[in-house]
Amino acid sequence: MMTKQLLLFALLPIALGAQILDPVVLTKPATDAWPTYNGDYSGRRFSTLNQIDQSNVMHLTLGWVFRVRAGAVPGAIVGGEGPAPVEGGPPNPDLSTIKATPLMVNGILYFATPDNAWAVDARSGHELWHYFWKTKGGIHIGNRGVGMYGNWLFFETPDDYLVSLDARTGKERWHVEIADVKQEYFSTPAPIVVGNHVLVGTGGDSLDVPGFLESHDPETGAIQWKWWSEPLKKGDPGSETWPDEYSMRHGGGMTWIPGTYDPELHLYYLGTGNPNPVLTGRGREGADLYTCSIVALNVDTGKLAWYFQPSPHDTHDWDAAQTTVLIDGLFEGKPRKMLAQANRNGYFFLLDRTNGKNLLTAPMVDTINWSKGIDANGQPIPNPDKEATISGVLVSPPSDGVTNWPPPSFDPDTGLFYVGVKESFSEYYLTDTDPHPEGYAAAEKYITSYGGSLLAIDYQTGKTRWKHSYIFGGGPIGILTTAGKLLFAGDGLGHLLAFDPSNGSILWHAGLSDDVSNGPETYMLDGHQYLVVGAGDSLYAFLLE
Amino acid sequence: MDMRILLQRTLRAIAGFSICVALAAQPAPPKYDPVSVARGQQAFVASCGFCHGSRAKGGEKGPDLLRSVVVLDDENGKGIGRVILKGRPEKGMPKFAMTEDQIVDIANFLHQSIYSAADRDSYQTLNIVTGDASAGKAYFNGAGNCGSCHSVTGDLKGIGAKYEPVTLQDRLLMPLDFGPSASTKAVVTVTVTTPSGEAVSGPLLWIDDFTVALRNSQGTYVSFARKSDVIPQVEVHNPFKPHSDMILHFSDAEIHNLTAYLVTLK
């Protein structure tokens, strides 16, 4: 208790100052801050810091470890609409697994797990405050962290509230309901703050409900606009890709990955989730826009500027909810504004982000067997024979994909896009033969995997430049690259590794008590470059000796 | 949706070669009192099924109730009861004089139906045996070359009685239940040769870029630091490689035919 008061006291100079987060910081690559989920709006997860480099990375040493104690523990600030949690019982690993990338602003780290948020001293790993939300329910699968506007923090809960906290104290300012947990919505994304817009998505595809993205006022929580990921009525753009209004109003398309933003174009980019019912296309014949799509929205109005659909008429749960990475560079010799996505369906996509035009589509692995080729627009053509049947179809990838939400990275120095992948198969068995199937409608049995790997993809050709494969381990994993010519990633086997991003050789590693569970991040503090990573219930901070 | 087969499960298990057995479906544990659900179902089919369909998924005269916000938001029959007791005569929903208990039964039936639709881990596969057993037999003895490792009178004798068809089909694709921590099941073996030329072989217990571990011929756990890809030399032998290779080439029809054949081996 004593230490806690001292720490709060130490915070006072900041508390008395003006805004904690200067909005300008969000528009340039992070150096002495990590102010938004991906470090900056581009989604590249490339840091210009180079104090830690190839020549000294082997001297990285552990600075501190912070282990979360989730739940209504003594000292926690308690909020929420749900009943008081049952005392005792084993700790729930879902509540303490760190999938968030912590924000670091003025020496304080801010992050969340389902129902919990923390402020931690970035120098020492000491807890400043802990906020606990009493839940009404919802799937507690993960939380990707907090967003920040001035002194205010925002995070989402599994029972679909947007909660705003005062970053200085952890005290709640307000909460607003964004979706109905009884309709099986649950919310995991980190809100992204652009100007005075707090961009909030949601998830949930157990029942057949429509997805949406909302913009909220950071001061009051009031809704500014709402974009539905399906057309609402016949005649609306995209409605021609559904059989009827009933199917589009139950069509899924969740918005659970934090998006990226181009301040010049004023566009917010986002990959949407799978259509519903999930594993059968019956009852929703057509491309099912704008599910499994990359969309560009005007950030002030929520109006759709363009879309590209990586998985037209998806029947395998391949959300396009992977980070949409913004690349400025050459393509076919000309400078271009581009957007790259390593998609769950197994393909790498490169688009012109001014208009959504496809520049390149390339398979990332050899096992994918569900498409009949690429159409003139660069979209894979699904093979209807690989849609679930009663007797089963063998499909690669399984529903969790070749890759998934863990953040990839683009390194402008190497021109390579890095992503964790795995090559695996599932059998998909149709279980609901009703003309109006509901929910998932099919059962999936995981068959086998050929292992995971870390890929370095040349964004201009889609070709793999190098591949580091694991017999065990690997798979979708969060990645960071830096100007110190380093790539940091986990191996799924309890290690954090530093690679040479040009050729994949391993330069350093540390054993952690669990697998890396978020995207690693880096920042300067007191003249030291910190490397911070979450693995299971703990954050680890490394710096040079 | 989200990466449901989560980090722990995937990253550890994919690492291995198969987790299909662990994922075998279990019937949904009833969340609502089964006796009440059964009564509710009976009442529903009798009074409501005509319009809403006997499974409440909607009919010509009434909407799908499993997707109804009134039903999803209902607590213990309160919201549903209001509609039942008052009806919406102008919209074609008649009112019913029902007791509170009858309403709770119907509500429990509807909630259990929604729970079962949403809980995909409990979905039950249907009759998956649709293949041609004689074509499967021909494939087994011919193109599949299955006889080079297996015999229907030897190791596969009675296999059709041992497993449910769906488990049999999944296991014929990949029989291995294996992961880096599943030490007892480690049928993959490894030979580690140190720079001095000493070779140790045994079941592979763990391998990453820095360590390789195995159980030696004395049954003792042995681990080696890996200094590079070649020091020490590490050779992994996967006895299920033929299955791994086949999966890349199998057609679904071949799989179904083989299953149909193996099911006959009772």
pLDDT band at A19 (very low <50, low <70, confident <90, very high): low
Residue A91 clears pLDDT 70, i.e. is over it: yes
- Roughly how many angstroms between the first and final C-alpha of chain A, as a whole number? 31
Please state, rounded to an integer, the average pLDDT across all residues of chain A.
Answer: 94
Contact (CB<8Å) B252/A392: yes
Q: Which of A40-44, A92-96, B21-25, B30-34 has the highest mean pLDDT?
A: A40-44
Percent of chain A surpassing pLDDT 90? 90
Q: Which residues in chain A have their CB less than 8 angstroms from residue B255's CB?
A: 392, 394
Report the alpha-carbon distance of residue A462 to residue A351 in Å, rounded: 12
Query: Looking at the structure, do residues B140 and B207 belong to the same domain, yes or no?
Result: no
Report the alpha-carbon distance of residue A364 to residue A345 in Å, rounded: 9
Q: What is the CATH number of the domain that holds B45?
A: 1.10.760.10
Contact A364, A344 (CB under 8 A): no
Helix (H) or strand (E) holding B260: helix B252-263
Contact A440, B123 (CB under 8 A): yes
Q: Is the whole-model pTM more than 0.90?
A: yes
Sheet holding A147-149, edge to edge: A147-149, A152-156, A161-166, A172-177
Q: If you compute the radius of gyration of chain A from its CA atoms, what whole number of angstroms results?
A: 22
Residue whose entry in the numeric block shows the structure tokens 């400078």? A335
Q: Which residues in chain B have their CB less than 8 angstroms from residue A432's CB?
A: 117, 123
Average pLDDT over residues A197-208: 95
**pLDDT for residue A436:** 87
Q: What is the CATH number of the domain that holds A151?
A: 2.140.10.10
Q: Give the gap in angstroms from C-alpha A148 to the nearest C-alpha of chain B.
A: 24
Average pLDDT over residues B34-54: 96
pLDDT band at B131 (very low <50, low <70, confident <90, very high): very high
**pLDDT for residue A5:** 39
Average pLDDT over residues B76-82: 97
Query: Looking at the structure, do residues B73 and B195 belong to the same domain, yes or no?
Result: no
Number of domains in chain A: 1
Interface of B with A in 79-138 (CB under 8 A): 114, 117-120, 123-131
**pLDDT for residue A6:** 38
DSSP for A271-288, written as a single string: E---BSSSS--TT--S--
What residues form DSSP beta bridges with A46? A481
Average pLDDT over residues A307-328: 98
Q: Is residue B100 included in any domain, yes or no?
A: yes
Contact (CB<8Å) B66/A438: yes
Q: Express each pLDDT in A61-84 by its tens digit.
A: 999 999 999 999 999 999 999 998
Q: Express each pLDDT in A176-197 by its tens digit.
A: 999 999 999 999 999 999 999 9
Residue B4 clears pLDDT 70, i.e. is over it: no
Q: Which of A183, A141, A188, A142 is nearest to A161 (CA)?
A: A188
Q: Is residue B214 included in any domain, yes or no?
A: yes
Q: Which residues in chain A have their CB less than 8 angstroms from residue B203's CB?
A: none
Q: Express each pLDDT in A474-496 by its tens digit.
A: 999 999 999 999 999 999 999 99
Contact A515, A536 (CB under 8 A): yes
Contact (CB<8Å) B3/A476: yes
Average pLDDT over residues A86-109: 89
Percent of chain B surpassing pLDDT 90? 74
**pLDDT for residue A2:** 37
Q: Give the gap in angstroms from C-alpha A391 to the nearest C-alpha of chain B.
A: 4
Please tell me which residue, A312 or B9, carries the higher pLDDT value. A312
Average pLDDT over residues A498-518: 97
Residue A17 clears pLDDT 60, i.e. is over it: no
Residue whose entry in the numeric block shows the structure tokens 């569970």? A517
Query: Looking at the structure, do residues B252 and B176 belong to the same domain, yes or no?
Result: yes
Contact (CB<8Å) A472/B15: yes
Contact (CB<8Å) B72/A183: yes
**pLDDT for residue B20:** 30
Percent of chain B surpassing pLDDT 70? 85
Q: Is residue B23 included in any domain, yes or no?
A: no
Query: Looking at the structure, do residues B253 and B175 belong to the same domain, yes or no?
Result: yes
Q: Is residue B144 included in any domain, yes or no?
A: yes
B28 touches chain A (CB under 8 A): no
pLDDT band at A270 (very low <50, low <70, confident <90, very high): very high
Residue B14 clears pLDDT 60, i.e. is over it: no
Contact (CB<8Å) B123/A278: no
Q: Is residue A96 included in any domain, yes or no?
A: no
| Domain, as residue range, for B48 | 34-118
Q: Is residue B10 included in any domain, yes or no?
A: no
3-state helix, strand, coil in chain A (%, to 5): 10, 40, 50
CA atoms within a 13 Å half-sphere pointing along the CA-CB vector of A356: 19
Q: Is residue A93 included in any domain, yes or no?
A: no
Q: Is residue B196 included in any domain, yes or no?
A: yes
Q: Which residues in chain A have their CB less than 8 angstroms from residue B120's CB?
A: 206, 278, 439-440, 443-444
Number of domains in chain B: 3
Q: Is residue A91 included in any domain, yes or no?
A: no
Q: Which of A328, A409, A456, A408 is nearest to A46 (CA)?
A: A409
Average pLDDT over residues B238-248: 88
Helix (H) or strand (E) holding A430: strand A416-430
B16 touches chain A (CB under 8 A): yes
Interacting residues of B255 by C-beta distance below 8 A, sequence separation 6+: A392, A394, B131, B169, B172, B173
**pLDDT for residue B202:** 93
Q: Which residues in chain B have their CB less than 8 angstroms from residue A113's CB?
A: none
- Roughly how many angstroms between the first and final C-alpha of chain B, as a whole number? 40
Question: Looking at the partner chain, which of A207, A433, A447 has a beta carbon nearest the beta carbon of B118?
Answer: A207
Query: Looking at the structure, do residues B250 and B147 belong to the same domain, yes or no?
Result: yes
Paired tokens of A313:
């008429």
**pLDDT for residue B29:** 63
Closest-CA residue of chain B to A273: B1
**pLDDT for residue B28:** 54
Q: Is residue A470 included in any domain, yes or no?
A: yes
* Beta strand A486-490 pairing with A495-499: antiparallel
**pLDDT for residue A29:** 67
Query: Looking at the structure, do residues B206 and B226 belong to the same domain, yes or no?
Result: yes
Task: Mean pLDDT check: name the lowest of A249-258, A437-446, B174-183.
Answer: B174-183
Query: Looking at the structure, do residues B167 and B252 belong to the same domain, yes or no?
Result: yes
Question: Looking at the partner chain, which of B14, B123, B250 has a beta carbon nearest the beta carbon of A424?
Answer: B14
pLDDT band at A521 (very low <50, low <70, confident <90, very high): very high
Q: Which residues in chain B have their CB less than 8 angstroms from residue A323's CB?
A: none
Q: Give the gap in angstroms from C-alpha A114 to the nearest C-alpha of chain B.
A: 14
Q: Is residue A92 included in any domain, yes or no?
A: no
Residue B93 clears pLDDT 90, i.e. is over it: yes
pLDDT band at B229 (very low <50, low <70, confident <90, very high): confident
| Domain, as residue range, for A235 | 4-25+35-84+102-544
Query: Looking at the structure, do residues B227 and B170 belong to the same domain, yes or no?
Result: no
